[in-house]
């Protein structure tokens, strides 16, 4: 309704407040400027202003930097990684061979289908071929990051070489995956492997595309150079996408090693934020920092106490998939700004706050959980909700509004296996609204 507070609407829909959204967009634009190569006129103009700000009046840059500083977190602008340039010097741009990535069309397969393909490939490998499995892991994403590799030199029935390496106290899975590929290839280069058939199994498609694409991000130049060195020793290299967490032994070992390496970075400080940060990684950090600022703003806003009992944190919310009218009614019950008499009496002077069925104030709680006029519908709701709880083995101590709208801690909709229970509870609540016929 028009009387509903904007900050409550933002929390209900999981929409970042427009002020924070614009600050993030401005910060992203500044990062885009700063990541350009030195020859770019925009980069030169920005650096000239930053060198001597007193003599110039670039209002745009002042505005962008001000917003960047508000949402940047711990990373400074100087640590943004510069965009790469395509170059044929040293043969790096020509490093990719079509034979590297085997059966690229298989990357479109469903995971179960690809697991069958990989299992068949592994079963046909001989003890003269080298098979490597790599993985990256982050505790939090972003958070402490590590990488692991499992290398079989004499077939997958032999004892593997297990490698792990901490990456960063605060990074993401993608960076961990890239470092895993480099870790495995560097080990082969150090062992001076020659004239071998090498199979690399990676469970991250973006990492495969980055390392073996025709462009050269700075993050992958070293890995590409190692690949070229291995090729020069007459090694034949093949890359396969391997779905993760599908009981493929080498991948499971690499995943375990990556998690162990990531745990070694817990509690360690980023080295004075000296490492270069990819602009995509930094953009994710900006959004995370903006979300934390939003949470603090939400907690410190007066009048949100009742609302915070239902939505304690700001995050995307699972919305109802029903007709708009019913969806509006339910959302009005959540905010308390609805056509119930308790709220309408504040808008219309001729409306009393008393329930039309009894002598109590007609609030949301009274309408759903107390009014004797709807006892039959309420008993049906509670009975069927309890049956659903038992059927899905999801204990619910109390059927309250938080549970009915799918925001209960028992109903983690992003966790596979719990979505059906949460959806069923929501449908029961929708039916209750229809059965009461309070809103026509």
Q: How far apart are the first and last CA of the chain?
A: 17
Residues 257 and 391 in one domain: no
351 has a pLDDT exceeding 60? yes
Under the banding of pLDDT at 50, 70 and 90, the label for residue 330 is: confident
Residue 144 lies in a domain: yes
d(CA 434, CA 430): 6
Residue 306 lies in a domain: no
Here the CATH number for the domain that contains residue 121 is 3.30.420.10
Residue 201 lies in a domain: yes
347 has a pLDDT exceeding 80? yes
Residues 27 and 76 in one domain: yes
pLDDT in tens, 311-323: 888 876 655 566 7
Strand 236-241 and strand 197-202: pairing? parallel
Residues 427 and 357 in one domain: yes
Residue from 74, 256, 88 nearest 170 by CA: 74
Residues 110 and 247 in one domain: yes
Residue 304 lies in a domain: no
21 has a pLDDT exceeding 90? yes
Residues 387 and 282 in one domain: no
pLDDT (0 to 100) of residue 106:
55
| Position with higher pLDDT, 73 vs 340 | 340
Under the banding of pLDDT at 50, 70 and 90, the label for residue 200 is: very high
Measured in degrees and rounded to the nearest 5, phi and psi for residue 132 equal -130, 135
Residue 110 lies in a domain: yes
Enclosing domain of residue 114 = 97-263
pLDDT (0 to 100) of residue 131:
93
Residues 369 and 408 in one domain: yes
pLDDT in tens, 389-418: 888 777 776 777 877 776 544 344 444 445
Residues 231 and 352 in one domain: no
pLDDT (0 to 100) of residue 217:
55
pLDDT (0 to 100) of residue 82:
76
Q: What is the mean pLDDT of residues 241-247?
A: 86
Residue 161 lies in a domain: yes
Q: How many domains does the chain have?
A: 3
343 has a pLDDT exceeding 80? yes
Residues 341 and 425 in one domain: yes
Mention every residue, 6+ apart, whose C-beta is less than 8 A from residue 134.
147, 148, 149, 150, 177, 180, 181, 183, 184, 200, 201, 202, 254
Residue from 40, 38, 37, 28 nearest 65 by CA: 28
Under the banding of pLDDT at 50, 70 and 90, the label for residue 95 is: very low
pLDDT (0 to 100) of residue 184:
92
Overall size of the chain counted in residues:
440
The pairs formed by 385-389 with CB atoms below 8 angstroms and a separation of 24 or more are 385/425, 385/428, 388/421, 388/424, 388/425, 388/428, 389/421
Residues 234 and 146 in one domain: yes
Residue 394 lies in a domain: yes
Residues 347 and 432 in one domain: yes
Residue 171 lies in a domain: yes
Across 38-42, 212-216, 337-341, 380-384, least confident range: 212-216
Residues 196 and 164 in one domain: yes
Residue from 13, 21, 6 nearest 407 by CA: 13
327 has a pLDDT exceeding 60? yes
Q: What is the mean pLDDT of residues 161-175?
A: 86
pLDDT (0 to 100) of residue 29:
92
pLDDT in tens, 209-240: 777 665 555 556 678 778 888 888 888 888 88
Strand partners, 152: 131
Token pair recorded at residue 411: 């109903």
| Position with higher pLDDT, 315 vs 364 | 364
Residues 111 and 249 in one domain: yes
């Amino acid at each position: 309704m028009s009387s509903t507070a904007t900050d409550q609407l933002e929390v209900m829909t999981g929409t970042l407040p427009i002020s924070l959204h614009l600050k993030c967009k401005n910060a992203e634009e500044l990062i885009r400027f700063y990541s350009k190569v030195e020859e770019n006129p925009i980069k030169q103009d920005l650096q000239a202003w930053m060198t001597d700000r007193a003599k110039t009046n670039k209002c745009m840059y002042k505005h962008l930097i001000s917003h960047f500083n508000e949402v940047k977190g711990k990373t400074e602008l100087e640590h943004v990684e510069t965009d790469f340039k395509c170059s044929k010097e040293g043969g790096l741009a020509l490093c990719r061979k079509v034979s590297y990535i085997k059966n690229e069309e298989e990357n479109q397969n469903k995971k179960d289908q690809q697991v069958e393909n990989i299992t068949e490939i592994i079963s046909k490998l001989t003890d003269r071929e080298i098979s490597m499995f790599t993985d990256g892991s982050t505790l939090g994403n972003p958070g402490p990051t590590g990488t692991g590799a499992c290398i079989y030199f004499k077939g997958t029935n032999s004892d593997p070489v297990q490698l792990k390496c901490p990456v960063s106290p605060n990074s993401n899975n993608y960076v961990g995956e890239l470092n895993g590929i480099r870790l495995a290839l560097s080990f082969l280069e150090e062992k001076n492997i020659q004239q071998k058939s090498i199979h690399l199994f990676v469970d991250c498609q973006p990492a495969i595309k980055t390392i073996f694409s025709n462009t050269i991000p700075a993050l992958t130049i070293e890995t590409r150079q190692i690949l070229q060195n291995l090729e020069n020793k007459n090694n034949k290299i093949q890359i396969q996408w391997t779905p993760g967490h599908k009981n493929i032994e080498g991948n499971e070992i690499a995943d375990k090693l990556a998690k162990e390496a990531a745990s070694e970075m817990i509690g360690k400080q980023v080295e004075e934020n000296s490492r270069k940060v990819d602009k995509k990684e930094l953009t994710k950090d900006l959004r995370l920092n903006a979300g934390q600022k939003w949470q603090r703003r939400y907690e410190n806003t007066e009048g949100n106490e009742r609302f915070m009992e239902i939505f304690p944190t700001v995050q995307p919310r699972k919305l109802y998939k029903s007709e708009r009218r019913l969806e509006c009614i339910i959302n009005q019950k959540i905010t308390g700004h609805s056509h119930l008499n308790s709220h309408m009496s504040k808008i219309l002077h001729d409306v009393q706050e008393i329930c039309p069925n009894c002598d109590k104030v007609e609030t949301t709680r009274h309408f759903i959980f107390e009014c004797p006029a709807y006892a039959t519908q309420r008993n049906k709701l509670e009975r069927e909700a309890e049956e659903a709880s038992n059927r899905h083995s999801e204990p619910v101590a109390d059927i309250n509004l938080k549970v009915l709208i799918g925001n209960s801690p028992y109903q983690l909709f992003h966790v596979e296996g719990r979505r059906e229970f949460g959806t069923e509870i929501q449908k029961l609540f929708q039916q209750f609204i229809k059965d009461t016929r309070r809103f026509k």
